[in-house]
Structure 1
Amino acid sequence: MNVPDSITAPSPFFHPSEASKRLLPWLVAVAFFMESLDTTILNTAVPAISSALKVAPLSMKAVLASYTLSLAVFIPISGWMADRFGTRRVFASAIGLFTLGSFLCGISSNIHVLVACRVLQGCGGAMMVPVGRLTLVRTFAKSDLLRTMSFVAIPALVAPMLGPIAGGLIVGYLHWRFIFFLNLPIGLAGLLMVYLHLPDYREKNIHPLDIVGLILFGAGVALLSYVLEIFGEHALSSREISGLLVLSLVLLAGYGLHAKSIAYPLLELSLFRIRTFRASVSGSFFTRLGIGGVPFLLPLLYQVGLGFTPIQSGLLIMPQAVAAMSMKLVMPRLLSFFGYRGVLISNTVILGFLLLLFATIGIHTPVWLIVLQAFSYGAFTSLQYTSMNTLVYADITEEETSNASSIASTMQQMSISFGVAAAGLATAFFIPDSVRSNPAGMIHGIHEAFLVLGGLTILSTIVFRSLKRGDGDAVNQQKILHPGG
């Protein structure tokens, strides 16, 4: 094991044996699976949970968005936490928080408690994936890292495929609460594995945590997401909503000024001066605003609008994940032949038109056509995500990799959260309160939302036009297989 000089080797209490090194990727893969599964398993259960909690299905967007939003807020401090307190302690705490949050979600009696518990889950999830990946990087030699990272990336592909159908089966045959209780035995087994097999790395020299930046950034993002969720509702007046919107933007602008004035900011915004990094991160953000709400809208369309059962809804969503896994085989060749600029511009337009096609799905649409659309959407979405995620590292130095990864992960989770909120906002705009229990009115509103999101996705191609021919050529095969989605 080759540990950098600035890193403290595993504590004397624990030295990773060969057996532990063989089991470590499995442990991290389990954590990745838990975090990835939780972002998809809930989607097909949205109508059932909203009915049980006596809230409108569109109100469930807060339950979905709060989890990804908390990931966005707390991912930036995960690396600092691991360096300061040690990878084993932070990873164990992350699994513990995630498991506790899952249990509390399962016993929640109203939507407000459920949202709060989802935030707690997100705090754990924000630490699990980055710290697990960091532990692998510090444990395995570079010659073994590609194989290890590729193995660990598999759960991130499998979980979206299993999530919708697992959620449908649980709702159909058990109770929606078991969606959260499913994490309990996995989490407890993970804690035991951490104790037995996870090395404990920490930095000797720790730079101070940017607490002011965390407060400014976290408060600004959380407030902006809240404004997007309540926009169009009657809980607050337009003047109050406008005030909150301005306040959130002031907080985020304040963080931007603060980050320029200190040596170790929470997020290193100077990386946005690099053209490929700026295009990939900002392009990813705006693209995900359009496609990020699809996992929220499709179950509503299938179940509330078309009357499918949760199990049938999950089966109709599964082709997306199957196509995404299949697409991994041809992505390197496509990127090599067309280049990043060509792929991202053309693929983003295709995704926008596929969203427009979702607006044609109605009660008379044959199932085979729905499956074909879902498969096509999954394939092109996988190509989009991989292209955007790997372009991040095209012109990034080794010293900048950690900061670049933190910014990319944070912006990705923000855009997913905002995408769900935008989808809910668009749907609520087109569905009056008087017809929300009417399937025909629901279908019409969701169709209109897909048209809006499709147009927004097509417009996001403007960002990728700043790329030049040859950008991304430096990204080698190793980075093409970089996990993430």
Structure 2
Amino acid sequence: MAADTGTATEAEAGPRLGGLMQLGLLAGPLLSMIDSSIVNVATPDIARELHAGLPVTQWVVSGYLLALAAGLTTTSYLARRFGTMRVYGAALAAFVLASALCSAAPGIGVLIGARALQGFTGAPLVPLAMSVLLGRGGAARKIPLTAGLLFFLAPAIGPSFGGLLIAAGGWRWIFLVNLPIGALALLGVRRLPAGVAPRADGHARPDPFGLVLLGAGLVAVLYGASRATVDGWTRPVALVALIGGGALLTAYTFWALHCSTPAVDLTLLQHRRSALALLLSVASSVVAFAAVFLLPVFTQSVQHHTAFATGLALLPQGLITGVGAAAGQRLAERYGVRYLVFAGFVLLAAAGAGLLLITVGTPLWVTAAILSGRAAAIGFGLTPLLSVMLAPLTDAQLADGNTLFSIAQRLGGSIGVGVLGSLLAARAAVVGPITGFHEIGLILSSLAVAAALLSLLLPSRVSQATT
């Protein structure tokens, strides 16, 4: 009986993947996430070499993020219609090609266009890779240790890695490095077995109206949030984009609930525990993104550390978040989801209160230690929350679930960072940058406490989320 059980478990888990095949699934998400932040440190060099102003050069960053949001809206339908692995492979190849175009761009216009192409083609890589890695596990779906480490380390290493590449060979190297890694990943994708992901459904119908509503709404809200962060929340451009985008997303919600084949299926949120897990993961991402965005500004503008030194201080939190994400799954099996997530948010609140200790003279290693405590708390909670959200879904619904997870995190993170960044700027002008930063720390702690109380409504075990 034991042997039969083991065989059944292996069959449910799917075929084992070799090193090159795992690289094929991991490199795409890694490159797309690194490229969302790696260019931030290169904008002055790009502006100088291509003879462009910084406001125009900022579209090299913004264009990527907005195109990525638009690309996310097409991911679920393309995966259903053409097959998960076929779309993943095509997106990875196009991403590598776009990276080559970025590295060879003769002017700022070409670079902005190539970055938009890079963002659009990179959008499917994370949700589709996660769909394959989490598939065939039912309620016991787990993120592999290597995937957890890489996915959560990627955003943190982007600025540091970019600084090293720029120092070694110039800004074009931040795009050239994608070519050999992407080529190896494509070889790995070609070796993946046919049954590793859901096949194409030739009868899948598109949802053009829903795609327009969702894509335009996402782009408008993210653009509005980015403008509000820079210009303030009362400026007409930011307000029009945010209100218009919010109206479009509301319209999409009504449309999707009454459409037989929506662009991204929202009916999975009819599972109360899935909806709660998604809400808590968004709260976690707001706290995470806010600190990652605001702390570098504080350490460089107030403490006068270099961008490279700040990047090094951010590195440990990425590694610890990855380790925490992998450990969170195992701890959830032993102690249960509810109390692990609760403990994670309590620890997150305590670490947020630790931001009150940071002053002008605080050493970077102390800041890194506080960030590491936050990172462990986020890691412990994030993977159990993702497991609870995806537990009721079939393998065919995973692309929708992971796409919705990515969309919610991007919206929550962008809007949260925009609100808190604007609030910090406003309060710093009144009470000073240090007091203003401490007030943001109190807000983050309060958000974590509220999330901790909500987490008590989670199931005690992931398997119970399917009921």
> Of Structure 1 and Structure 2, which has the larger fraction of its residues in helix?
2
Query: Deviation digits for residues 366-398 of structure 1, max 9, x if unmatched?
Result: 343223213212212212322322221344466
Deviation at 1:75, TM superposition (A): 2.8
Cα distance, 1:456–1:266 mapped onto 2, change above 3 Å: farther
The alpha-carbon deviation at position 412 of structure 1 amounts to 2.0
The one of 379, 392, 410 equivalent to 2:407 is 410
Q: How far did 1:423 drift?
A: 4.8
Q: How does 1:102-181 map to 2 (within 5 A)?
A: 102-106=99-103, 117-134=114-131, 149-160=144-155, 162-181=157-176
191-200 or 125-134, larger mean C-alpha shift: 191-200
Mean CA deviation greater in 455-464 or 165-174: 455-464
Q: State the distance in 2 between where 1:20 and 1:276 align.
A: 31
Aligned partner letter, 2:122: G
- The amino acid of 1:410's aligned partner reads I
Over 3 Å counting, the alpha-carbon distance change for 1:396 and 1:223 in structure 2 is same
2: CA distance, partners of 1:236 / 1:307: 28
What CA deviation, in whole Å up to 9, does each residue of 1:270-321 have, x standing for no partner?
A: 3223221111112222332232133333333333433333332222111212
Q: CA deviation at 1:249?
A: 2.1
AA matched with 1:169: L
What corresponds to 2:344 in structure 1?
A: 347
TM-score norm. by structure 1 comes to: 0.75
Task: Provide the residue aligned with 1:221 in structure 2.
Answer: 218
2:209 corresponds to which residue? 212
Task: Give, in angstroms, the shift of residue 352 of structure 1.
Answer: 4.1
Q: How does 1:2-401 map to 2 (within 5 A)?
A: 23-42=20-39, 54-55=53-54, 67-87=64-84, 89-106=86-103, 117-134=114-131, 149-160=144-155, 162-194=157-189, 199=194, 202-231=199-228, 238-239=235-236, 241-328=238-325, 330-332=327-329, 334-335=331-332, 339-358=336-355, 360-396=357-393, 400-401=397-398
Measure, in 1, the Cα distance between the counterparts of 2:372 and 2:233. 41
Distance 2:44 2:351 in 1: 24
Measure how far apart 1:237 and its partner are. 7.3
How far did 1:222 drift? 1.1
The one of 440, 451, 456 equivalent to 1:452 is 440
Structure 1 counterpart of 2:409, one-letter code: Q
Change (3 A) 1:234 1:408: closer
SS at match of 1:391: helix
| Cα deviation digits, residues 199-252 of structure 1 (max 9, x gap) | 597424432111111110111121112222222766997455444333222211
Q: Structure 1 regions of 5+ residues with no counterpart?
A: 1-17, 433-440, 480-485
Using the alignment, how far apart are the partners of 1:146 and 1:103 within structure 2? 36
Equivalent AA in structure 1 for residue 151 of structure 2: A
Amino acid at match of 1:448: G
Encode CA deviations 1:107-162: one digit per residue, 9 max, x unaligned: 66888876654432222222223334555678xx869x979944544432453564
Q: Give the Å deviation of 1:263.
A: 0.9
Bigger mean CA offset, 245-254 vs 446-455 = 446-455
Q: Distance in 1 between matches of 2:43 and 2:292?
A: 11
Range with greater deviation from structure 2 (126-135 or 370-379): 126-135
User: Aligned pair in 2 of structure 1 residues 399, 185: CA closer, same or farther (>3 Å)?
Assistant: closer
Q: Return the letter of the residue paired with 1:471.
A: P
Cα distance change on mapping 1:257 and 1:146 into 2, 3 Å: closer
Equivalent AA in structure 1 for residue 289 of structure 2: G
Alignment CA distance shift 1:387-1:431 (3 Å): same
Contact 1:232 1:428 in 2 (8 A): no
Aligned residues: 446
How many angstroms apart in 1 are the aligned matches of 2:353 and 2:44? 23
What one-letter code is carried by the residue in structure 1 that aligns with 2:282? F
| 1:94 Cα deviation after fit | 1.1
User: In the alignment, is the contact (CA less than 8 A) between 1:225 and 1:417 conserved in 2?
Assistant: yes
The Cα RMSD (Å) is 4.2
Matched residue type, 1:390: S
Partner of 1:8: none
**Does the 8 Å CA contact 2:338/2:455 hold for their aligned counterparts?**
yes
From the superposition, tell whether residues 405 and 134 of structure 1 become closer, same or farther in structure 2 (CA, over 3 Å).
closer
| Amino acid of the structure 1 residue aligned with 2:418 | A
Conserved in 2, the CA contact under 8 Å of 1:394 and 1:475?
yes
Aligned to 1:482: none
Cα distance in 1 for residues equivalent to 2:246 and 2:84: 34
AA paired with 2:162? Answer: G
Distance 2:103 2:417 in 1: 22
Given the superposition, is the C-alpha separation of residues 331 and 262 from structure 1 closer, same or farther in structure 2, using an over 3 Å criterion?
closer
Q: Identity percentage over the alignment?
A: 24
Stretch moving more, 70-79 or 37-46: 37-46
Change (3 A) 1:77 1:42: same
Return closer, same or farther for 1:426/1:178 CA change in 2, 3 Å cut-off: farther
Write the deviation string for residues 338-358 of structure 1: whole angstroms up to 9, x where unpaired.
643444344334424534533
Q: Which amino acid aligns with 2:440?
A: V
Distance in 2 between the 1:89 and 1:305 partners?
48
Quote how far apart the aligned CAs of 1:261 are.
1.9
Equivalent AA in structure 2 for residue 156 of structure 1: F
Q: Give the conservation status (yes or no) of the 8 Å contact 1:68–1:417.
A: no
Question: Contact between 2:95 and 2:121, CA under 8 Å: does it hold in 1?
Answer: yes
Tell whether the 8 Å contact from 1:280 to 1:464 is kept in structure 2 after alignment: no
Instruction: Map Cα deviations across residues 40-74 of structure 1 (whole Å, 9 max, x no partner).
Output: 544555776688765389x95x7656545544443
Q: C-alpha separation between the residues in 2 aligned to 1:285 and 1:444?
A: 30
Match of 1:438 in 2: none
Does structure 2 conserve the Cα–Cα contact (< 8 Å) formed by 1:393 and 1:475? no
Q: 1:239 to 1:421 in 2, by over 3 A?
A: closer
Query: Aligned AA for 1:244?
Result: A
More divergent stretch after superposition (195-204 vs 225-234)? 195-204
Amino acid at match of 2:54: V
